[in-house]
Amino acid sequence: MAISVFDLFSIGIGPSSSHTVGPMRAARAFVDGLAGLGLLPRVATVRADLYGSLALTGKGHGSDTAVILGLLGETPEGVDVDSVPQRLERVRARGRLALGGEHEIAFAPREHVEFRRRERLPGHPNGMRFTALDAAGTPLHSAVYYSVGGGFVVDEEAVGADRIKPDDTPLPYPFTTAAELLALCRDTGMSISAIMLANERAFGRDPGQIRSGLLEIWRAMRQCVRRGVSTEGTLPGGLKVPRRAHRLYRQLGGRCDESGLLAPGPDLTGDPMRGSDWVTLYALAVNEENAAGGRVVTAPTNGAAGIVPAVLHYYLHFMPGADDDGVVRFLLTAGAIGILFKENASISGAEVGCQGEVGSASSMAAGGLAEALGGTPAQVENAAEIAMEHNLGLTCDPIGGLVQVPCIERNALAAVKAISATKIALRGDGSHFVSLDKVITTMRDTGRDMHDKYKETSRGGLAVNVIEC
């Protein structure tokens, strides 16, 4: 299965790639399917049934609002996030929406979006069924979709694939394991980022387009950080979690450099942990924006969206000689590592716990940083392995079903861990005891063994113990 780096890094909307971005894409795909079948004019209403983890934590993750936006014809990358509250209120007040932006139907969110908390569909914990009905209440068409992590959505016939229509693009340097990737590097003398660049060209993009596209992703990450440090107040959802990035930014004495990057000011403290403070700030800013439903980049998910941007900011501000070429190499390499997790395990918290989200992102960031700093392919693989090895078993237990506690702080700690993993790997020669492939296999097996209550259901761990206290 051919996966592009632009599949793993996509501009979307918070707070969750699997619970917000995925349902929005699925709802939009259902509407497109109705139009393709010529049924759109006959539809009087649509019912959306959410199952499994989508039902258990979907309310806190905005799954119901994402469904409405998708039915309206919106996409995660195109929706105007500032207009969302007003548009949703209009639908609720009128009890009607324009299906696909053109055909008006009756739609009452409380009646037509059902959270089936005691049921799950067989293909994946994040299942949903859409049904279109005519004026007599007779079903016209029904379809099942699964949100399999990172915003990827598959239909009922493609469970286990990477998108609704699997991509069979032939790649010049195909790989499915880290061992195969390292062998390609040895045989060709190419770096991991060069292998990925060649593969990206198979999707019809020339090197200039790939570079500009990745720098656009980086620009969106920077904008997210800037919004995060510029916004004060309390996060939505009922937990009353205060935003901390703005206050921390002021405490650290930051500034904007000529490129618009949020940059550290002069070091007046001599604190050896100053860089760690800034990495923490960058991650907090992104994940607070995500929790507020803002514009973020899945990397590879929304719940783990702060790790790659935080480490990239660290690279540009604290590493001598850092530049845009390094950013491109970083993202290409991180994408290669993300593909390995996507193909051999999972990046879905509902499937394998938070090790699949934060763990994968930490591994991607560590490998990307090692590449940007001139590491060999073996050192890059070692950095990615170290970061993932020490995120094994990480549960997904969001309090209140919200992507806030412990999710926001978890990104900050995983970003610091990624940098530490890189430093360890670059001090060695690339040889190590545990391979990245073995760690990915272990993560997959650990996820299978993990009790379901620790996999994005808010029925275990902090999600229940904090509330009970």
CATH of the domain at 293: 1.10.4100
In a domain, 463, yes or no: no
* Residue finishing a domain among 125, 158, 191: 158
Q: Looking at residue 332, what is its pLDDT?
A: 98
The alpha carbons of the chain give a radius of gyration, in whole angstroms, of: 22
Please state whether the peptide bond connecting residue 122 to the residue before it is cis, i.e. omega within 30 degrees of 0: no
> Could you tell me if 399 and 290 lie in one domain?
yes
> Could you tell me if 361 and 404 lie in one domain?
yes
Q: Give SS3 for 281.
A: helix
> Could you tell me if 194 and 109 lie in one domain?
no
> Could you tell me if 332 and 364 lie in one domain?
yes
Check which CATH number belongs to the domain holding 72 and give it.
3.30.1330.90
| The two structure tokens encoding residue 421 | 């993993």
The 10s digit of each residue's pLDDT in 26-52 is 999 999 999 999 999 999 999 999 999
* Residue finishing a domain among 158, 189, 212: 158
DSSP assigned state of 234? B
The 10s digit of each residue's pLDDT in 272-320 is 788 999 999 999 999 999 999 999 999 999 999 999 999 999 999 999 9
Exposure letters 251-281 (e unless 16+ CB within 10 A, then b): ebebeeeeeeebebeeeeeeeeeebbbbbbb
| Residues paired with 396 in a beta bridge | 455
> Could you tell me if 243 and 98 lie in one domain?
no
> Could you tell me if 24 and 143 lie in one domain?
yes
The rounded distance, in Å, linking the Cα atoms of 148 and 163 is 9
Count of residues making up the chain: 469
The rounded distance, in Å, linking the Cα atoms of 352 and 457 is 12
Domain count for the chain: 2
* Residue finishing a domain among 123, 158, 193: 158
Instruction: For residue 165, count CB atoms less than 10 angstroms from its CB and return exposed for 0-12, middle for 13-18, buried for 19 or more.
Output: exposed
| The two structure tokens encoding residue 417 | 């861990």
> Could you tell me if 313 and 415 lie in one domain?
yes
> Could you tell me if 330 and 207 lie in one domain?
yes
DSSP assigned state of 458? S
Q: Looking at residue 168, what is its pLDDT?
A: 78
The rounded distance, in Å, linking the Cα atoms of 356 and 348 is 6
> Could you tell me if 350 and 387 lie in one domain?
yes
User: What's the half-sphere exposure (Cβ side, CA atoms, 13 Å) at 67?
Assistant: 29
Q: Which of 191, 167, 182 is nearest to 328 (CA)?
A: 191
Exposure letters 82-113 (e unless 16+ CB within 10 A, then b): eebeebbeebeeeeebebbeebebbbebeebb
> Could you tell me if 219 and 150 lie in one domain?
no
Q: At what angle do helices 407-426 and 377-389 cross, to 10 degrees?
A: 140
User: Measured between alpha carbons, how far is residue 436 from residues 37, 108, 206, 339, 465 in Å?
Assistant: 45, 48, 30, 13, 34
Q: At what angle do helices 436-449 and 324-344 cross, to 10 degrees?
A: 50
**Domain ranges, residue 218:** 178-454
> Could you tell me if 304 and 380 lie in one domain?
yes
Q: Looking at residue 253, what is its pLDDT?
A: 85
The rounded distance, in Å, linking the Cα atoms of 131 and 301 is 28
Low-confidence ranges of the chain (pLDDT < 70): 1, 159-167, 256-261, 266-269, 467-469
Q: Looking at residue 159, what is its pLDDT?
A: 60
In this structure, are residues 284 and 405 in contact, taking their beta carbons and an 8 Å threshold?
no
User: Measured between alpha carbons, how far is residue 374 from residues 199, 224, 285, 423, 438 in Å?
Assistant: 21, 27, 28, 12, 24
| The two structure tokens encoding residue 272 | 């050896």
Edge-first strand listing for the sheet containing 127-133? 113-116, 45-51, 127-133, 139-149, 152-155
Q: Looking at residue 268, what is its pLDDT?
A: 56
| Residues paired with 96 in a beta bridge | 106
Distance of CA 427 to the CA centre of its chain: 30
In a domain, 12, yes or no: no
> Could you tell me if 444 and 317 lie in one domain?
yes
